[in-house]
Structure 1
Amino acid sequence: MEAVWKDSTSVKGRDYVDALVAAGFAKEEMQVTDDTTSIGDPADSVQFSVRVGAECLVGQVGPSVPTPTSLVMPGLAEGKCLVGKTRSIDW
């Protein structure tokens, strides 16, 4: 996450998902929010997560976040990490 942000200050969820895959995390255990708002503007921040056992690594980046942030949290009962609408990871 830090390397992606440092190299490009990217607010594209795919960049972070791809970096997590490259680090050895399972893509099928990930979630990511949309890069754009409902009216097509760039998102103020993007959240991404990866489920590892009963826990989730959750990250957030974007202009509204002073610095990339990540933390480990308990996973949700239904097996996910993020609450609300997320985009398909179909690449």
Structure 2
Amino acid sequence: MRRSASSPRRLTALGSLVIVGVLSFAACTPTPTPTPTQTTAAPTATPTPTPTGPALVPDGSAEDNLPLFAQVVNTVAATDARAQGRAYIDALVAAGFPKAQMQVTNDLTTVGNPADSIQFSVKWTGECLVGQVGPSTPAPTALVLPLVPGDTCLIGQTRPIDW
């Protein structure tokens, strides 16, 4: 039997087609996913966020709440509203202090000049958180002081907190 010279090429070409067909079929067949192995890793603890600063202590004393009060005073004192009593009252309310327990002095003198200092306070559990700022005060001040006669925190005329 005589072989033609093209026979090995036909076999090679045919073999190539078979290999391409097998590879194409293999590409369409889903590959098995390995089964996960069980691990005995310890559970990871979720980190608890730490507070970024002092917080209001509703059942605490005035002394317990002085850090938050002082932070609010210092924050407002560092702004352009540092000579406005309302800015301190609003910031203290935003921090959780009760507006109904607050007092503030006037920002202006009786002749319309800026006050040398302004005071503001929060009556808290029989004591007072008192702040003072202004040109005559070297730095913002925050203190715990006793109530004054009349069960208030500030002496003298204060302005109504009616906003």
Task: Report if TM-score (shorter chain) is over 0.5.
Answer: yes
**1:51-70 → structure 2 map (5 Å cutoff):** 51-70=123-142
Q: Closer, same or farther in 2 for the Cα pair 1:77/1:44, shift >3 Å?
A: closer
**Alpha-carbon deviations, 1:9-59, whole Å to 9, x = none?**
611100000111011111010000000001001111100000001010000
CA contact (8 A) 2:85 2:119 kept: yes
Amino acid at match of 1:76: V
Of the three residues 58, 68, 72, the one matched with 2:144 is 72
- RMSD of equivalent CA atoms: 1.1
**Could you say which residue in structure 1 is the equivalent of 2:63?**
none
Give the TM-score taking structure 2 as reference length.
Answer: 0.54
Q: Is 1:34 matched up with 2:86?
A: no
Per the TM alignment, residue 65 of structure 1 is displaced from its structure 2 partner at its CA by 0.7
* Structure 2 unmatched ranges of 5 or more: 1-72
- Identity of counterpart residues, as a percentage? 57
Per the TM alignment, residue 77 of structure 1 is displaced from its structure 2 partner at its CA by 4.1
**Could you say which residue in structure 2 is the equivalent of 1:13?**
85
The structure with the largest helix share of the pair is 2
Bigger Cα Rg: 2
Aligned residues: 91
Give the TM-score taking structure 1 as reference length.
Answer: 0.94
Which is bigger in relative contact order (C-alpha 8 A, separation at least 6)?
A: 1
Structure 1 CA distance for aligned equivalents of residues 116 and 79 of structure 2: 19
* Structure 1 unmatched ranges of 5 or more: none
